[in-house]
Amino acid sequence: EILSILPLTERLLERGFRVLVTSGTLTSSRILARRAHPGLIHQFVPLDARRFVARFLDHWQPDLALMAESELWPNLMGELSRRGTPLVLVNGRLSERSGERWAKLPKSARTLLGTVDLCLAQSHEDAERFHALGAPRVAATGNLKFDVPPPEADPEALAEMQAQVGDRPVLLAASTHPGEDESVIETHLRLRDSLPGLLTIIVPRHPERGEAIEALAAQAELDTIRRATGYLPGDATEIYVADTIGELGIFYRLAPVVFVGGSLVRHGGQTPIEAAKLGAVVLHGPHIWNFGALYAQLDADGGALPVSDAESMAEAVYTLFADHDLYQRTAEAAWRTTEALSGAMERTLTAIEPYLAQIRLARR
């Protein structure tokens, strides 16, 4: 979420606004710390209890509040409404599952969403769900993540990895969750003979799981190295566990085929945008409701391949490495889909311009 709003934050800073960004994780605070700007302030989000929220707002006194994606804090939203501070939901996302849960509490949903002055949804489906639950003003402006540049890669670290990997086939399992690593490891075992030299890179969604993944691979008698130990993959390395923070951009640039995690287990799937933008073929499991419309579009355009288990993943990976034309067509389709869906940034800025104009007038 932080990465998706950073470009919007930068555009607001360019226009002379001071921007306070709140988040709830150390990772997000580190990301923001790397983007030092005199007008940018980071604070951890206050506990959503009225007395804490009130003290927070008393101190910062915002002119406009923007909430991103599906982060809905009832006490914070209610206090903003009581103070007359405009609240805009940007890059709003409401999955079908979340919509069904809120629909069981119609009065609460209507009260909560009634505090939102403007809801800017990622898709028409999201917009319809917000509207059905009681959001008074809704527009589908698109997903800001489509306008986010692909994750950066340290040039030296990337060159090091490229030199070590050489021309070996590489499969990347990005942002995996517990219960998926076993399937990725089994996929590697199934491909050992048919794809000699295959290197499988596993990047867990939470790096602290690195040792547990290493243990799983060791049980399968696979030569495994963890990046957190400081070692690069050797010629004999079969599984490379990239249990570090902020380096996914390196591995997206190494792997022509990427399995996007959170989709083989009932998590809802991580975003495929970054992989697609960098020219990879995207594989995903059946549990993709977090980005359902996007995955449906990618699948329809031939830019992604659904898999359900290690057997189907191994079959898809082998086919893509064996058929270069198929790989090329699929990767290009994924890139075209993400490019066609860009433009959310400008639509979002246009939608919030009346609120920004009010702030400018108040300054005079």
Using only the alpha carbons of the chain, give its radius of gyration: 22
Q: Which residues contact 106 (CB under 8 A, 6 or more apart)?
A: 133, 134
Instruction: Please state the three-class secondary structure of 168-190 as a single string.
Output: CCEEEEEEECCCCHHHHHHHHHH
Catalytic center residues: 1
Contact 327, 252 (CB under 8 A): no
Q: How far is CA 217 from CA 78, 93, 214, 258, 273, in A?
A: 49, 36, 5, 19, 28
Token pair belonging to 205: 């969604």
Angle between helices 2-14 and 344-363 (to 10 degrees): 50
Classify 223 as helix, strand or coil.
coil
For residue 34, with 0-12 CB atoms within 10 Å meaning exposed, 13-18 middle and 19 or more buried, which class applies?
A: exposed
Copy the structure tokens of residue 175.
């942002």
Burial readout 48-60 (b: 16 or more C-beta within 10 A, e: otherwise): eeeeebbebbeee
Residue located via tokens 């000699």: 196
Q: Report which of 42, 6, 3 is spatially closest to residue 24, judged by C-alpha positions.
A: 42
Helix (H), strand (E) counts: the chain:
16, 13
